[in-house]
Amino acid sequence: MTTAPPGPHERGTPPERAPEDPPRRAPAWTRTLGSEQVGRRTVALVLALVAVLAVGLMVNEITGREERAGTPVTTPTATPSPTPSDPPVDTSVEAGPDTTGVPDGTQLTPFQPGVLNEDGLVLDGVLIQGDVELVGEHQVLRNSRVEGHLVVRGTDVTVEDSELGALSVSSATQVVARRLDIFGNLGDDGIHVTSGDGPRATDVVIEGCWVHSPQVEAESHYDGIQVRGVEGLVLRGNTFDLGPWMDRYNAAVFLEEANGGNVDVLVEGNLINGGGYSVYANGRDVRFVDNRFGNDANWGLLHPDHSPFEESGSTWADDGTPVSMLDEAGG
Protein backbone atom coordinates (compact mmCIF):
# COMPACT_ATOMS: atom_id res chain seq x y z
CA MET A 1 0.00 0.00 0.00
CA THR A 2 1.39 3.45 -0.85
CA THR A 3 0.74 6.64 1.08
CA ALA A 4 0.22 10.03 -0.52
CA PRO A 5 3.05 12.49 0.17
CA PRO A 6 2.25 15.24 2.64
CA GLY A 7 0.80 18.40 1.17
CA PRO A 8 2.97 21.51 0.97
CA HIS A 9 3.21 23.55 4.12
CA GLU A 10 1.19 26.73 3.95
CA ARG A 11 3.36 29.77 4.01
CA GLY A 12 2.04 32.82 5.87
CA THR A 13 2.66 36.35 4.67
CA PRO A 14 5.81 37.61 6.43
CA PRO A 15 5.13 40.59 8.74
CA GLU A 16 6.16 43.98 7.50
CA ARG A 17 9.13 45.49 9.30
CA ALA A 18 8.63 48.65 11.30
CA PRO A 19 10.28 51.62 9.63
CA GLU A 20 12.64 52.04 12.52
CA ASP A 21 14.09 48.55 12.20
CA PRO A 22 17.64 48.68 10.96
CA PRO A 23 18.21 46.97 7.64
CA ARG A 24 19.12 43.31 8.07
CA ARG A 25 22.43 42.27 6.64
CA ALA A 26 22.35 39.03 4.66
CA PRO A 27 24.70 36.30 5.78
CA ALA A 28 28.04 36.29 4.08
CA TRP A 29 27.36 33.07 2.13
CA THR A 30 24.25 34.60 0.49
CA ARG A 31 26.08 37.80 -0.33
CA THR A 32 28.56 35.85 -2.37
CA LEU A 33 25.70 34.96 -4.73
CA GLY A 34 24.84 38.54 -5.32
CA SER A 35 21.71 39.20 -3.23
CA GLU A 36 19.60 38.11 -0.26
CA GLN A 37 16.72 37.14 -2.63
CA VAL A 38 18.85 34.64 -4.52
CA GLY A 39 19.94 33.05 -1.28
CA ARG A 40 16.39 32.53 -0.06
CA ARG A 41 15.30 30.94 -3.33
CA THR A 42 18.23 28.56 -3.16
CA VAL A 43 17.31 27.50 0.36
CA ALA A 44 13.70 26.84 -0.69
CA LEU A 45 14.82 24.72 -3.65
CA VAL A 46 17.14 22.63 -1.48
CA LEU A 47 14.39 22.03 1.08
CA ALA A 48 11.93 20.95 -1.66
CA LEU A 49 14.41 18.44 -3.08
CA VAL A 50 15.04 16.99 0.37
CA ALA A 51 11.27 16.56 0.91
CA VAL A 52 10.81 14.75 -2.42
CA LEU A 53 13.65 12.37 -1.67
CA ALA A 54 12.24 11.63 1.79
CA VAL A 55 8.78 10.80 0.41
CA GLY A 56 10.27 8.49 -2.24
CA LEU A 57 12.26 6.58 0.38
CA MET A 58 9.13 6.21 2.54
CA VAL A 59 7.06 4.85 -0.40
CA ASN A 60 9.76 2.34 -1.33
CA GLU A 61 10.00 1.13 2.25
CA ILE A 62 6.21 0.61 2.54
CA THR A 63 6.01 -1.18 -0.81
CA GLY A 64 8.93 -3.42 0.13
CA ARG A 65 7.27 -4.38 3.42
CA GLU A 66 4.03 -5.35 1.58
CA GLU A 67 5.88 -7.46 -0.97
CA ARG A 68 7.82 -9.24 1.76
CA ALA A 69 4.52 -9.92 3.59
CA GLY A 70 3.10 -11.79 0.60
CA THR A 71 0.18 -9.54 -0.33
CA PRO A 72 -2.29 -11.47 -2.63
CA VAL A 73 -1.96 -10.63 -6.30
CA THR A 74 -5.07 -8.60 -7.12
CA THR A 75 -3.85 -6.04 -9.59
CA PRO A 76 -6.37 -3.47 -10.79
CA THR A 77 -5.46 -1.99 -14.16
CA ALA A 78 -7.32 0.44 -16.36
CA THR A 79 -7.02 -1.79 -19.40
CA PRO A 80 -6.45 -5.48 -18.64
CA SER A 81 -5.06 -7.74 -21.30
CA PRO A 82 -7.83 -9.95 -22.67
CA THR A 83 -5.05 -11.08 -25.01
CA PRO A 84 -6.88 -10.71 -28.32
CA SER A 85 -3.54 -11.56 -29.92
CA ASP A 86 -3.69 -15.14 -28.60
CA PRO A 87 -3.46 -17.59 -31.49
CA PRO A 88 -6.75 -19.22 -32.52
CA VAL A 89 -7.61 -22.45 -30.74
CA ASP A 90 -6.33 -25.48 -32.62
CA THR A 91 -9.58 -27.39 -33.12
CA SER A 92 -7.65 -30.50 -34.18
CA VAL A 93 -6.40 -30.89 -30.58
CA GLU A 94 -9.01 -32.24 -28.19
CA ALA A 95 -9.55 -29.99 -25.19
CA GLY A 96 -8.85 -31.98 -22.03
CA PRO A 97 -6.69 -32.18 -18.92
CA ASP A 98 -3.47 -31.45 -20.82
CA THR A 99 -4.73 -28.28 -22.50
CA THR A 100 -6.96 -26.62 -19.88
CA GLY A 101 -6.88 -25.40 -16.31
CA VAL A 102 -4.22 -23.82 -14.13
CA PRO A 103 -0.71 -24.19 -15.61
CA ASP A 104 1.57 -26.59 -13.77
CA GLY A 105 3.71 -24.95 -11.11
CA THR A 106 1.33 -22.04 -10.47
CA GLN A 107 1.19 -21.01 -6.81
CA LEU A 108 -2.37 -20.11 -5.77
CA THR A 109 -3.13 -17.46 -3.15
CA PRO A 110 -6.42 -17.70 -1.19
CA PHE A 111 -8.96 -15.02 -2.11
CA GLN A 112 -12.39 -14.33 -0.63
CA PRO A 113 -15.52 -15.34 -2.59
CA GLY A 114 -18.22 -12.76 -3.23
CA VAL A 115 -19.26 -10.03 -5.67
CA LEU A 116 -16.38 -8.19 -7.35
CA ASN A 117 -17.37 -4.91 -8.96
CA GLU A 118 -14.01 -3.14 -9.31
CA ASP A 119 -13.44 -2.02 -12.90
CA GLY A 120 -10.09 -3.12 -14.29
CA LEU A 121 -9.63 -5.88 -11.71
CA VAL A 122 -7.10 -8.60 -12.60
CA LEU A 123 -7.05 -11.78 -10.50
CA ASP A 124 -4.05 -13.94 -11.34
CA GLY A 125 -3.15 -17.09 -9.41
CA VAL A 126 -5.91 -17.09 -6.80
CA LEU A 127 -7.87 -19.86 -5.08
CA ILE A 128 -11.52 -19.02 -4.35
CA GLN A 129 -13.32 -21.56 -2.17
CA GLY A 130 -16.90 -20.61 -2.95
CA ASP A 131 -18.96 -18.70 -5.50
CA VAL A 132 -17.84 -15.45 -7.12
CA GLU A 133 -19.43 -12.86 -9.41
CA LEU A 134 -17.59 -10.56 -11.81
CA VAL A 135 -19.86 -7.56 -12.35
CA GLY A 136 -17.48 -4.77 -13.39
CA GLU A 137 -15.87 -3.69 -16.64
CA HIS A 138 -12.50 -4.81 -18.06
CA GLN A 139 -12.01 -7.65 -15.57
CA VAL A 140 -9.71 -10.67 -15.90
CA LEU A 141 -9.49 -13.98 -14.03
CA ARG A 142 -6.59 -16.19 -15.07
CA ASN A 143 -4.44 -19.04 -13.77
CA SER A 144 -6.89 -19.53 -10.91
CA ARG A 145 -9.26 -22.07 -9.35
CA VAL A 146 -12.85 -21.41 -8.26
CA GLU A 147 -14.25 -24.24 -6.16
CA GLY A 148 -17.80 -23.17 -6.83
CA HIS A 149 -19.82 -21.23 -9.40
CA LEU A 150 -18.36 -18.29 -11.34
CA VAL A 151 -20.98 -15.84 -12.65
CA VAL A 152 -20.02 -13.17 -15.18
CA ARG A 153 -22.38 -10.17 -15.37
CA GLY A 154 -20.01 -7.43 -16.53
CA THR A 155 -18.59 -6.02 -19.75
CA ASP A 156 -15.29 -6.96 -21.40
CA VAL A 157 -14.47 -9.88 -19.11
CA THR A 158 -11.85 -12.55 -19.80
CA VAL A 159 -11.60 -15.87 -17.91
CA GLU A 160 -8.73 -18.09 -19.01
CA ASP A 161 -6.44 -20.95 -18.00
CA SER A 162 -8.48 -21.66 -14.89
CA GLU A 163 -10.53 -24.36 -13.15
CA LEU A 164 -14.18 -23.79 -12.25
CA GLY A 165 -17.00 -25.84 -10.82
CA ALA A 166 -19.43 -24.10 -13.19
CA LEU A 167 -19.58 -20.97 -15.35
CA SER A 168 -22.54 -18.67 -16.01
CA VAL A 169 -22.63 -15.71 -18.41
CA SER A 170 -25.68 -13.71 -17.40
CA SER A 171 -26.72 -10.60 -19.39
CA ALA A 172 -23.03 -9.87 -19.97
CA THR A 173 -21.29 -8.58 -23.09
CA GLN A 174 -17.85 -9.04 -24.63
CA VAL A 175 -16.97 -12.17 -22.68
CA VAL A 176 -14.09 -14.51 -23.53
CA ALA A 177 -13.71 -17.87 -21.77
CA ARG A 178 -10.79 -19.98 -22.92
CA ARG A 179 -8.89 -23.07 -21.83
CA LEU A 180 -11.09 -23.68 -18.79
CA ASP A 181 -11.40 -26.98 -16.92
CA ILE A 182 -15.05 -27.01 -15.83
CA PHE A 183 -15.12 -29.94 -13.45
CA GLY A 184 -18.71 -29.92 -12.15
CA ASN A 185 -20.65 -28.19 -9.40
CA LEU A 186 -23.58 -29.91 -7.71
CA GLY A 187 -26.90 -28.97 -9.31
CA ASP A 188 -25.43 -26.65 -11.98
CA ASP A 189 -24.94 -26.94 -15.73
CA GLY A 190 -21.34 -26.91 -16.88
CA ILE A 191 -21.85 -23.58 -18.68
CA HIS A 192 -24.99 -21.43 -18.68
CA VAL A 193 -25.47 -18.43 -21.01
CA THR A 194 -28.62 -16.39 -20.50
CA SER A 195 -30.31 -13.03 -21.00
CA GLY A 196 -32.90 -13.74 -18.33
CA ASP A 197 -32.37 -11.07 -15.69
CA GLY A 198 -30.99 -8.01 -17.44
CA PRO A 199 -29.71 -6.73 -20.78
CA ARG A 200 -29.18 -9.11 -23.65
CA ALA A 201 -26.08 -11.30 -23.52
CA THR A 202 -23.92 -10.41 -26.53
CA ASP A 203 -20.53 -11.22 -28.06
CA VAL A 204 -19.59 -14.32 -26.08
CA VAL A 205 -16.66 -16.54 -27.10
CA ILE A 206 -16.06 -19.90 -25.38
CA GLU A 207 -13.10 -21.81 -26.77
CA GLY A 208 -10.74 -24.60 -25.86
CA CYS A 209 -12.65 -25.56 -22.69
CA TRP A 210 -13.14 -29.03 -21.18
CA VAL A 211 -16.62 -29.52 -19.70
CA HIS A 212 -17.03 -32.85 -17.91
CA SER A 213 -18.08 -34.80 -14.81
CA PRO A 214 -21.73 -33.75 -14.35
CA GLN A 215 -23.03 -33.52 -10.79
CA VAL A 216 -26.82 -33.69 -10.65
CA GLU A 217 -29.30 -33.49 -7.80
CA ALA A 218 -32.63 -35.30 -7.56
CA GLU A 219 -34.51 -32.25 -8.91
CA SER A 220 -31.94 -30.96 -11.39
CA HIS A 221 -30.86 -31.81 -14.91
CA TYR A 222 -27.50 -31.26 -16.55
CA ASP A 223 -26.38 -29.69 -19.82
CA GLY A 224 -22.79 -29.34 -20.89
CA ILE A 225 -23.83 -25.87 -22.03
CA GLN A 226 -27.33 -24.39 -21.90
CA VAL A 227 -27.99 -21.20 -23.88
CA ARG A 228 -31.15 -19.19 -23.15
CA GLY A 229 -30.92 -16.00 -25.17
CA VAL A 230 -27.76 -14.60 -26.77
CA GLU A 231 -26.72 -12.51 -29.74
CA GLY A 232 -23.31 -13.44 -31.07
CA LEU A 233 -21.99 -16.72 -29.59
CA VAL A 234 -18.94 -18.74 -30.65
CA LEU A 235 -18.30 -22.24 -29.27
CA ARG A 236 -14.98 -23.33 -30.73
CA GLY A 237 -12.66 -26.23 -29.98
CA ASN A 238 -14.36 -27.29 -26.73
CA THR A 239 -15.00 -30.75 -25.32
CA PHE A 240 -18.53 -31.22 -23.98
CA ASP A 241 -18.32 -34.75 -22.55
CA LEU A 242 -21.20 -35.97 -20.40
CA GLY A 243 -20.04 -39.58 -20.60
CA PRO A 244 -22.43 -42.56 -20.62
CA TRP A 245 -26.06 -41.51 -20.31
CA MET A 246 -27.68 -41.30 -16.91
CA ASP A 247 -31.09 -40.09 -15.84
CA ARG A 248 -31.22 -36.25 -15.76
CA TYR A 249 -28.44 -35.85 -18.34
CA ASN A 250 -30.23 -33.62 -20.84
CA ALA A 251 -27.86 -32.48 -23.62
CA ALA A 252 -24.22 -31.75 -24.29
CA VAL A 253 -25.18 -28.57 -26.22
CA PHE A 254 -28.63 -27.09 -25.53
CA LEU A 255 -29.66 -24.03 -27.56
CA GLU A 256 -33.04 -23.22 -26.04
CA GLU A 257 -35.66 -20.83 -27.40
CA ALA A 258 -35.96 -18.39 -24.50
CA ASN A 259 -35.33 -14.77 -23.49
CA GLY A 260 -35.46 -13.38 -27.00
CA GLY A 261 -33.87 -16.40 -28.65
CA ASN A 262 -30.39 -17.23 -29.88
CA VAL A 263 -29.05 -15.28 -32.87
CA ASP A 264 -25.78 -15.69 -34.77
CA VAL A 265 -24.36 -18.84 -33.17
CA LEU A 266 -21.28 -20.68 -34.45
CA VAL A 267 -20.53 -24.16 -33.07
CA GLU A 268 -17.18 -25.13 -34.61
CA GLY A 269 -14.61 -27.85 -34.07
CA ASN A 270 -16.01 -29.23 -30.81
CA LEU A 271 -16.17 -32.75 -29.40
CA ILE A 272 -19.81 -33.30 -28.38
CA ASN A 273 -20.76 -36.43 -26.46
CA GLY A 274 -23.61 -37.71 -24.34
CA GLY A 275 -26.99 -36.58 -23.08
CA GLY A 276 -30.49 -37.82 -23.82
CA TYR A 277 -29.92 -35.98 -27.11
CA SER A 278 -26.48 -34.56 -27.75
CA VAL A 279 -27.82 -31.34 -29.29
CA TYR A 280 -30.92 -29.15 -29.07
CA ALA A 281 -30.67 -26.58 -31.89
CA ASN A 282 -32.99 -23.58 -31.61
CA GLY A 283 -32.20 -20.12 -32.92
CA ARG A 284 -31.54 -18.03 -36.02
CA ASP A 285 -28.34 -18.05 -38.07
CA VAL A 286 -27.04 -21.15 -36.29
CA ARG A 287 -24.11 -23.03 -37.86
CA PHE A 288 -22.49 -26.34 -36.90
CA VAL A 289 -19.08 -26.74 -38.57
CA ASP A 290 -16.51 -29.56 -38.28
CA ASN A 291 -17.79 -31.03 -35.01
CA ARG A 292 -17.02 -34.55 -33.77
CA PHE A 293 -19.66 -36.64 -32.01
CA GLY A 294 -19.35 -39.39 -29.43
CA ASN A 295 -21.63 -42.41 -29.12
CA ASP A 296 -23.08 -41.87 -25.65
CA ALA A 297 -26.33 -40.07 -26.56
CA ASN A 298 -29.31 -42.09 -25.41
CA TRP A 299 -31.89 -41.24 -28.10
CA GLY A 300 -29.93 -39.57 -30.88
CA LEU A 301 -27.62 -36.73 -31.81
CA LEU A 302 -30.37 -34.15 -32.41
CA HIS A 303 -33.64 -33.42 -30.67
CA PRO A 304 -36.41 -33.56 -33.30
CA ASP A 305 -37.85 -30.17 -32.32
CA HIS A 306 -35.25 -27.81 -33.79
CA SER A 307 -34.93 -24.68 -35.88
CA PRO A 308 -33.36 -24.65 -39.35
CA PHE A 309 -29.56 -24.59 -39.11
CA GLU A 310 -26.48 -25.10 -41.27
CA GLU A 311 -24.27 -28.14 -40.81
CA SER A 312 -21.02 -29.17 -42.46
CA GLY A 313 -18.06 -31.41 -41.68
CA SER A 314 -19.66 -33.45 -38.89
CA THR A 315 -17.92 -36.77 -38.11
CA TRP A 316 -17.99 -39.57 -35.58
CA ALA A 317 -15.21 -39.07 -33.05
CA ASP A 318 -14.11 -42.69 -32.90
CA ASP A 319 -13.38 -43.32 -36.57
CA GLY A 320 -13.76 -40.00 -38.38
CA THR A 321 -16.53 -41.15 -40.69
CA PRO A 322 -19.01 -38.47 -41.79
CA VAL A 323 -22.33 -38.13 -40.00
CA SER A 324 -25.30 -35.80 -40.22
CA MET A 325 -27.13 -34.70 -37.09
CA LEU A 326 -30.34 -34.68 -39.12
CA ASP A 327 -29.82 -38.33 -40.05
CA GLU A 328 -29.20 -39.20 -36.41
CA ALA A 329 -32.09 -37.19 -34.98
CA GLY A 330 -34.43 -38.84 -32.52
CA GLY A 331 -37.99 -39.70 -33.42
For the purposes of burial, counting CB atoms within 10 Å of the CB of 110, is it exposed (0-12), middle (13-18) or buried (19 or more)? exposed
CA–CA distance, 151 with 128 (Å, rounded to integer):
13
CA–CA distance, 287 with 268 (Å, rounded to integer):
8
CA–CA distance, 53 with 62 (Å, rounded to integer):
15
Phi, psi torsion values for 39, nearest 5 degrees: -65, -40
Per-residue pLDDT of the chain (331 residues; tens, 9 = 90+): 434 444 433 334 333 433 343 334 343 333 333 444 435 554 455 455 545 455 455 444 444 433 333 334 444 443 344 444 477 788 889 999 999 999 999 999 999 999 999 999 999 999 999 999 999 999 999 999 999 999 999 999 999 999 999 999 999 999 999 999 999 999 999 999 999 878 999 999 999 999 999 999 988 899 999 999 999 999 999 999 999 999 999 999 999 999 999 999 999 999 999 999 999 999 999 999 999 999 999 999 999 999 999 999 999 999 999 999 999 987 6
CA–CA distance, 326 with 277 (Å, rounded to integer):
12
Predicted pLDDT at 56: 53
Angle at 196 between CA 191 and CA 198, to 5 degrees: 115
CA–CA distance, 137 with 119 (Å, rounded to integer):
5
Predicted pLDDT at 205: 98
The beta-strand segments (E) located in 19-162 are 109-110, 114-116, 122-124, 126-128, 132-134, 137-142, 145-152, 155-160
Q: Count helices and strands (H / E) in the chain.
A: 2, 26
Predicted pLDDT at 69: 35
Angle at 193 between CA 317 and CA 131, to 5 degrees: 105
Phi, psi torsion values for 281, nearest 5 degrees: -120, 95
CA–CA distance, 227 with 262 (Å, rounded to integer):
8
Predicted pLDDT at 233: 98
Predicted pLDDT at 127: 98
- Would you tell me how many other CB atoms lie within 10 Å of the CB of residue 330? 15
Predicted pLDDT at 221: 94
